[in-house]
Structure 1
Amino acid sequence: MSAPITDAFEILERIQDGFFALDQHWNFTYVNEKATRLLFRSRNDLVGKNVWQEFPKAVNLPFFEKYQQAVQEQTPVAFDAYYAPLDAWFDVKAYPSANGLSIYFQDVTKKKLEQQKHEELFHLITENTQDMISITSAEGRVVYVSPSIRTVLGYEPEEVIGSIRYDFWHPHDAKKFTSSTSMNHIDGTTFSRRVKHKNGHYVWVETSVSIKKDEQDEMIHAIGISRDITDRKLAENELRKTKERLQSFVQNNADAIWVINLEERVLEVNPAFETMFQWRAADVIGEQLPIIPDFMKELMDQIHQSVKAGISVASLETIRKRKDGTLLYVSATLSPITDSSGEVIGITGICRDVTPRKKAESTLQAKTQQLESFIETNEDTILVFNVHGTVQRANRAFERTFGWSKEEIIGVELDDLPMVPAGYRSEVRQYSEEVKAGRSLHGIEFILLRKDGVQLNVMVNLSPIYDGSGKVDGWASTIRDLTQWKKSQEMLQLTEKLSVAGQLAAGIAHEIRNPITAIKGFVQLMQSGMEDKKEYLDIMTSEIERIEQILSELLMLAKPQVSKFVRKDISLLLDQVVTLLSTQAILNDVEIVKDFEATMAFIECDENQIKQVFINYIKNAIDAMPSGGRLIIRTEKIDSKQMSISFCDNGVGMPEEVLAKLGQPFFTTKEKGTGLGFMISRKIIENHAGDVKIMSKVNNGTTIQVILPVEQGK
């Protein structure tokens, strides 16, 4: 081997690259020491052997393609490729010759792994950063943009990639930039411009640019990191107006504002200060703050020291003095004023006159005490529930009425109230749901139990309680014991019955006298020996039956009876009442006309009470026609559920002022009346789930309409 060849081999052995040579048949002709270490094969194991047979898996990799390209085109090739059997990346350069191929290669696995880490880190940053990252080619086309462009500008990345960098810029900014700046001169700089948002408006964007260049100092690409600074731009614009706004705020604020330095000399006050405290600005600027009363100065010195230490004092309720010596309740906020280095250089104060509020609070406290007194001293039981139905409050009347103490009832749940009978609990729950929905319930009649087991007739009113936001926060229950009132009502009804019975006595006496006279006459005739006595006996029998009927009706009216609802034919009831009062009607020259509907109508009623009502209305009609007249009693069905019974007279009628008072206890237009008849009659009708209406005009008569429910399906 000649010396030059020997020298060449020595050089190949010393280079840091792996090197091997292949002949025209792809056989190894030389392998240097570095290549044997990189390929993990000995030189003797490779020389003379075919590269594709020794490394068959390389055939399907870039190695085969690139080597073939170099040989066929007789041009050098360079490439990176991964060889899996060795789990390594190689940087390869192949140089063709007439006799074969020379290959230089390096293990760049570590470099590749580092590059992959950098790429992964780059993608991690670009995919997750809020800033928008873009890469622009030397020609000015966008080749990459991070997903954050969706947040900043509203575009999808693919909508921007491939566009020219200035396509989305504001025309004015694009023109200014291109005319004064070249890309090579903005490396490492930060600039701002307006970029068009997908929605059509412009967004202020600040971009930091880094230029990557090649060995010839030519730009390869530019990397830009951009962020939305629209808010900052707006803030800068607002900042320019801050002084004017602040001055306007101070001068036009309805609250008094002052500024003092660390020596507590007044630097500035606003017009509201002058108005509130009566001192002019010229009188107080440069002086000690004159609005602090003497008895408050020690405390305010302590507070001022805290503010000078950098501590703000908010919503301080205190007392201040006006120039005329009067005192004001104020709510004040004291804040430190600092310079650019953060040092406290003064104190600003702002205060509001809360004297009216203080007075209102005192008034509210007084009213609260009045309300507390009202609840505690009320003769009716008052219970207060929270929104969950738990008793929160009970007054003394509860203890007197029901026998349980406050301690025993407070905290008890609605379903566990001891005074509610078991059969009424579901009804109580239903009422509670209604009042929780915001509805007030009044006049609910109920049966409740005392602690000793005695039943009480009560009337309950339920009212929702609202919190400050208008939301139902609970409810109050007012319970009135009606037991004695019920007994009084029964006594009133009995009294009215006796009154009606007494008034009927004269008519009934006359009614009985007539048949007795006839009987006596016929008896005398029979005694005188008249032959035909059958006709007389029939008349006597008829008159005796009439006496029995009248006496039966009178006894029914007068006799105390337990209230009992039974099914009755309304027309039959009216017939019986008319029979009872027909004599009184005749004596007063009143004609009673019955205009009853042909179809039968039944009602569920207390017969005695309903008759009492009808007697009252008929007697009133007779009394309203002192010179005689006509009373029409009419029945008709309103619908399948209700019917009407009307009593229409053509008497003197009543003016509106009398109608308005009708039904009040002891109000009457009759000389010997009690004023209870109409009130009791209305109450009886209401107890029968009915209603009473009165229509009357002076000299045009009166109509009383009674509406009652009709029995269904019988």
Structure 2
Amino acid sequence: MKKFNLFNYRAIILTINSIHIIVHYNKKRRTTYLRQERAEVEGNQSYHIDFLEIIESVTDAFFALDRDLRFTYMNQKGADMLEKKQQDLIGKYVWEEFPTGIDQKFHHHYNKIMEEQKSVEFDEYYPAPVDKWFHVRVHPSKNGFSVFFQDITVERAKQKINDEYYKSLFDQNPDGVFSLDFDGYITSINQSMERISGYDREYFSGKKYFEVEFIQQTDIELLKSFFNKARSGETQTFELSIIDKNSIVRHCVVTYFPIKVIGEIVGIFGILKDITSLKEMEKNLHRSEQKYRSLKLHNTDGICSFDIYGNLVGINPAVEKITGYSTEEFFQLNIMKLFNPKNEQNFTASIQQVLSGHGAVDSFEGTLITKGGKKIHTSMTIIPIFIDEKIDGFYIIVKDITKNKHTEELLIRSEKLSAVGQLAASIVHEIRNPLTSLMGFLQLMKSNTGMNDQYYQIMLDELTRINSITNELLVLSKPQVKQMKQENITSSLSDIVQLMNSQAVLHNVEIQLTTENDLPDIPCDIKQLKQVFINIIKNGIEAMEDKGGVITVTAKRKNFKEVCISFQDQGIGIPKEQLEHIGEPFYTTKKKGTGLGMSMIYTIVENHRGTLDIQSEVGQGTIVTVCLPIDSESAK
């Protein structure tokens, strides 16, 4: 052995029989590199044996060629790999033994090595009968070549599969995929990139990423920033709007990530995902949410949302307006008790029906007491909440139908009054004519006979009562307002109070009048209105005849559209069940009443396009409020 050197504990150089051997050690495997050169050294058989043992023990196949490309040595690994015998190759011309290699890289590289005397490394396939891929390393010397080669057929097959996977992923990817070199030039694109941009592959050739026409000028600096960050090793994801070849704006998400080869960044891969449809869906979803929010926020009906367990989730502003409770207060209430449906059992069953998927249920009526104590009528509808086609809860839509109820009651009362009026019209004349005759003859008989005056007076009083009833029937049968004129309601009320005071004093009742200053005149038939006000005051006096008290009459303007006159007594009050029937023809709470007085009042007020409201509580008294329009057009 001529030389023996140790290089960083990773390589040694052996020179045996004019051959220098560089032996490299690796953590995973040992690779031997051979360099031949002629030298005059002292031969030593033991060293020669050691050298052969080393060559035969290396993991690579190895053979040596002289300057004429004849085999001078081949280890057993090489013979097995090439399917030859060692002794059959020694001295043979390499291209005679392997003629197919002349048309391949083998021949080209060997000639190049001979000319340039530089080591070379390459991969090549040798066809049948060898039928293998080799990784070849050739090291030249003055006297020939040292050739190391490895069978990489399996690795090449795996690589081919990986390449096919990559090619399929690249070509068939629905997103646009492209690659850039380190300077930003576009080196490849897939079909999806062509489809999204509208430009073919030829268009991209030789262009940098920011030179393509679909990139907007305002985005170039931003793109350069992202590219530089990716080139430094940081993956970048960002949104970008492009204008394709057909001038259509496409919204995209772009991802840049570095391409690394043996730890070194050599370029950038890019993925361009067209999210235009997704953006449109998001836009439509946002619009739908805005519409839903607008519908909920500005709906005049109350909307309460509940989860599938019946827990209150939220309410809209209309619920606060209808009930008078704030959102925080509303969440503390017993909702069922507040809504007070007429049939609570059916209402609860309907909620279960809705949650079971049987659709919406509507028209549940209830009475709700507001925070201020006002009673309102409601109509409730139960609607399922669907999320991802599954029932996730339910809505209760609450509509204030108090006005509708009042209108409905007025309509029913009007129909009843109309029926009574028709009846009155058909019989009143038949009664009044003979009644007049009876009263006349009775008065004549009283003056001409000696009968007891007491009996005559009783008969005359009863006939007078019958005549009064017929007069009331006439009002019902002919309810039209005779003549509308602008009248001062304040002076009319003063006259009425003065008129009724004498009767009130007899029952220990005081009438107090309070009117707002400068009340406007109202269009009315003042004679009929006086009849209304007198009847109301008269009813109040009769309600207090046992204990006396005060009747308060108040007149004031309301909303600049109406004048409201209220009559509040301190009488016995009217029970709730009776209050609902007040105003119906022939319904009375008095022992000697006819049930026509209040009907007449309702008729006159309605003919003036006014409203009449009665609030009463047993033991506390009654408040009757008449509201009349100020505008003459409204009163027509």
TM-score relative to the length of structure 1: 0.42
TM-score relative to the length of structure 2: 0.46
Higher relative contact order (CA 8 A, sep 6+): 2
